[in-house]
Amino acid sequence: MAQYRGRFAPSATGPLHLGSILAALVSYIHAKQHHGEWLIRIDDLDEKRCKQIHVDSILECLDAFGFRPSGSVCRQTDRITDYQNALVSLDNQRRLYPCTCTRKSLPKGPYPGFCRHQIGQTLIAESAVRIDTSDMDLTVDDLIATSSIIQPPGDFIVKRRDGLFAYQLACAVDEQIDGITHVIRGIDLLDSTPMQRFITQCLGYESPTYGHFPVLVGADGAKLSKQTFAEPVDWTRPGETFAVIARLLLLNDTPGPTDHAHVWLDFFVSLDNLIPKLIKASHANTLSL
Ligand code: GLU
Ligand code: ZN
């Protein structure tokens, strides 16, 4: 396995926005600073929400921002057989059960295990499939985040009633296939980590190291409004977006007004105080403009 292999895994549900470029950038910087490889994975399992037009725009945009992956881009929809094999393997361990609960019948919060008695029963296409998490470890061991509060998810879904493999299962299998050693992503995904690590352990994979960096907030301390946050970045002007990010991170001696993406990327990668800065910002869990 490579010494370091990281990745950026955007969902193909829309064009990249400021938060996505920040996620790409932080994972990229971390990989490059460790002389590692960095890959792009397209999360496109949800056929209803994911469109080819978004895949194209995401890849075009990443290219315009100078992000060159160390290997070919992979897509989750090419890996259905791998996810199915993982599901069978978990089922053979008698960890899975069909769940027929309706959303309405469930209380808020972690799944209370109503269908757990059905463990080992044949998994039928019409039911969701859950995994028994009674021996799941919820401790957080993070490279960046300092928060250690994780909501226990209960027996979470690994395959949905509509037949889609859940992101938690797919992601754990993907990291294994791609030989990912470091998962650096936004703190909004922190709650997913114990679930992904649990599947990783059940399947006997080696677990990647995780790092979750803070989310973006506006000057008033509020999370960036949906409008600002979700606005697609202008991929003809990467310098503009990189300048906003540099401001967010309170960086000095920035490259100035240039749209040469590689100049910006070299600048970011050269900063050895960036990850420590993120760790410091993690105490507040946010980065402000
Ligand atoms: N595609 C998911 C997202 O964009 C997962 C990302 C990840 O695991 O890094 O939220
Ligand atoms: Zn149930």
d(CA 200, CA 26): 24
d(CA 256, CA 190): 34
* 198 within 8 A of 130, measured Cβ to Cβ: no
- Ligand 1 pocket test target in 5, 7, 11, 17 with most atoms within 8 Å of CB: 11
Look over the chain and give the mean of its residue pLDDT values, rounded to a whole number: 90
What is the pLDDT, as a whole number, of residue 225? 45
Q: What are the tens digits of pLDDT across the range 111-135?
A: 999 999 999 898 888 899 999 999 9
Helix runs in the chain, H state only: 18-33, 52-64, 80-92, 167-178, 192-202, 226-230, 238-248, 261-270, 274-282
If DSSP states are collapsed to H, E and C, what string results for 220-284? CCCECCHHHHHCECCCCCHHHHHHHHHHHCCCCCCCCCCCCHHHHHHHHHHCCCHHHHHHHHHCC
pTM of structure: 0.93
The Cα 168–Cα 63 span in angstroms is 27
Centre of ligand 1 to C-alpha 68, Å, is 19
Which structure tokens are listed for 256?
């100035």
Probe target for ligand 1 pocket from 8, 30, 189, with the most ligand atoms within 8 Å of CB: 189
Long-range contacts of 216-224 (CB under 8 A, 24+ apart): 216/18, 216/19, 216/22, 216/248, 216/286, 216/287, 216/289, 217/286, 217/287, 217/288, 217/289, 218/288, 218/289, 219/288, 219/289, 221/286, 221/288, 223/286, 224/18, 224/19, 224/289
Residue 162 sits at φ, ψ, to 5 deg, of -80, 5
Tell me which of 123 and 220 has the higher pLDDT: 123
Higher pLDDT, 250 or 44: 44
Ligand 1 binding pocket, CB closer than 6 Å: 9-11, 43, 171, 185, 189
123: Cβ contacts below 8 Å, ≥ 6 apart:
87, 91, 96, 97, 98, 129, 159
Of 225, 223, 261, nearest in space to 243 by CA: 261
Q: How far is CA 77 from CA 60, 84, 140, 255, 279, in A?
A: 20, 12, 30, 39, 34
Whether pLDDT at 147 is above 50: yes
Question: Which letter does DSSP use for residue 91 in this model?
Answer: H
44-103 confidence digits (pLDDT tens): 999 899 999 999 999 999 999 999 999 999 999 999 999 999 999 999 999 999 999 998
Quickly count: other Cβ atoms within 10 Å of residue 142's Cβ.
Answer: 18
What percent of the chain is predicted at pLDDT more than 70?
Answer: 90
Ligand 1 atom closest to the CA of 23, numbered from 1: 9
